[in-house]
Amino acid sequence: MRTSHVTLGAGGLRVGPIGLGCMGMSQFYGPADRAESIATVRLALDLGVTLLDTADVYGAVGAAADTNGFGHNETLLGEAVRGRRDRAVIATKFGARPSGDGRVVYDGTPAYVRSACEASLRRLGTDHIDLYYCHRLDPAVPVEETVGAMAELLAEGKVTALGLSNAGPDELRRAARTAPVSALQSEYSLWERGVEDEILPLCRELGIALVPYSPLGRAALTGRVGPGTRLDGDDFRSTLPKFSAANLPHNLRLVDGLKRFARERGATPGQVALAWLLAQPHTVVPVPGTKRAEFLRENAAAADLALDAGEVAALGALFAPERVRGGQYGELPVSGR
């Protein structure tokens, strides 16, 4: 992977051009091997993949919750970076927690912001969190109150930089007026382009880095998902519109075009999909998730694949939003407090 680093917004954090999403090491995408997951994190640091993305809720929602639980992913990541903490840029999130009835509650109260941070610090085994995100804003709490509480943690040195996840334009503006916001995490990929109309231009205006999650379309853009792929009941993708029986065959025909392009460039489809994000005219640091070393190596190498303006435009046209079938999510099991 190329050695050049990028800066995440106002916080001054320097990270490699591609990060690692750790959620799948705890839930949503089938079983994971703990030893293999830890080895993958450590390999990431060796490869210069320094931004490690987790959340306190990873492991506590969905079919895996009965074996893992709240904080599982943070605890695993803390073990993986032990003795290597100075090489890692840890990003974690708070604000989403299980309600006990199979739903998720959003809590952005100032008291919860502080208690959640203290708990994450303990699980991660560190004295500071590099990038602290509000996972989803609590509709019952003004964004200024939540971000104001986050700013107190920043002033105390418990966190180095602040971020938001899945925030809308108005929320992002109000948050940025309250405290320096370094990064916004939202889904963004060739086949999910919802941030392009308002969010991405606003991030440019405010100097906020964009950190795309699911940049590989939850593996669909890697070419490893086919018409006959079976998604087990504990695989989150089985609930998503793009993966429905009605939509997936159509969407995979678009991926066939990505495969042809990748063959011509001597790359993999996933590498091309990541390179397309890196070619956008803004600070974009994708965090593809994987729990396997072979896929980590493949993703990291995408930073060395340069696309010209014509290629970027052609790929964007291939996956124009009107050509992709299915929205971002189905019905989410969430609720207010």
Q: Which residues are catalytic?
A: 58
CA distances from 251 to 29, 74, 112, 197, 286 (A): 20, 34, 41, 22, 22
Of the candidates 62, 69, 102, the residue with the CA atom closest to the CA atom of residue 239: 62
Strands 104-106 and 129-134: unpaired
Token code pair at residue 134: 């509000």
What whole-number distance in Å separates Cα of residue 311 and Cα of residue 326? 25
180: which 2 tokens? 């320096």
The DSSP result for 87-145, as a single string, is: G-EEEEEESEEE-SSS-EEE---HHHHHHHHHHHHHHHT-S-EEEEEESS--TTS-HHH
Q: Tell me the CB-side half-sphere exposure of residue 266, using CA atoms within 13 A.
A: 3
Q: In degrees rounded to 5, what are phi and psi of residue 276? A: -60, -40
- The identity of residue 94, as a single letter, is F
The answer to whether 168 and 301 have CB atoms below 8 angstroms apart is no
Query: Which one-letter amino acid corresponds to residue 208?
Result: I
Q: Which of 148, 121, 122 is nearest to 134 (CA)?
A: 148
d(Cα 247, Cα 318) in Å, to the nearest integer?
Answer: 16
